[in-house]
Amino acid sequence: MDLIHNVRHMVETHLGVTPHGLLSLHARLSVPCATKTEHIAGCDFTVRWESGCLTFYAAMPPLEGHTIPRPSVCPMGVRLIRSISVEMPEAIDRFHAAKRWRYFTELTLAWPMTTQCDEPLWNFRAGDQHCIIGAQSGRMEMWRGFDAVRPDAGASGLPLG
């Protein structure tokens, strides 16, 4: 599954325009605690094109269906994603390979516009913990709490030692 290609194709098919790329993806889970790709009913996508942004929902196979892309407000603070190397199924496999969590309750893909972030990020949430996986490199970071302080960090938020 080439996620970015499929998103572009869907927008081209329905509106006759080619989006520049993906800004964000938010998975809609079919169960409260997901463990595999089949637990993702579909995703909300936001794409950028010449006149602004479009948002739409698309079901994940084997489910079918989608909404028509509609104009929306462009999110601030995210970069355009033109391609990824680590697709959703591989990101889920890497999440489980960490052997820290049995399930996730939220899954997103975005590329934060910060100097520290050099690639799009898959963000898995499991309770108050986050597992962040690079969508190009596959590198993994684990965070605890909603303020994204590393688990091995001291009071300053910087790694100990």
> pLDDT at residue 146 above 80?
no
When pLDDT is cut at 50, 70 and 90, the band that residue 151 belongs to is very low
Local confidence band at 49 (pLDDT 50, 70, 90 cut-offs): confident
- Show me where the domains of the chain are located: 3-144
Among the listed residues 108, 110, 151, the one whose alpha carbon sits nearest the alpha carbon of residue 129: 151
For residues 101 and 126, is the Cβ–Cβ distance under 8 A? yes
Rounded to whole angstroms, the Cα distance separating 158 from 77 reads 23
pTM given for the model: 0.83
Which band of pLDDT confidence, cut at 50, 70 and 90, is reported for residue 145?
Answer: low
pLDDT-derived band at 155 (thresholds 50, 70, 90) equals: very low
| DSSP code of residue 29 | E
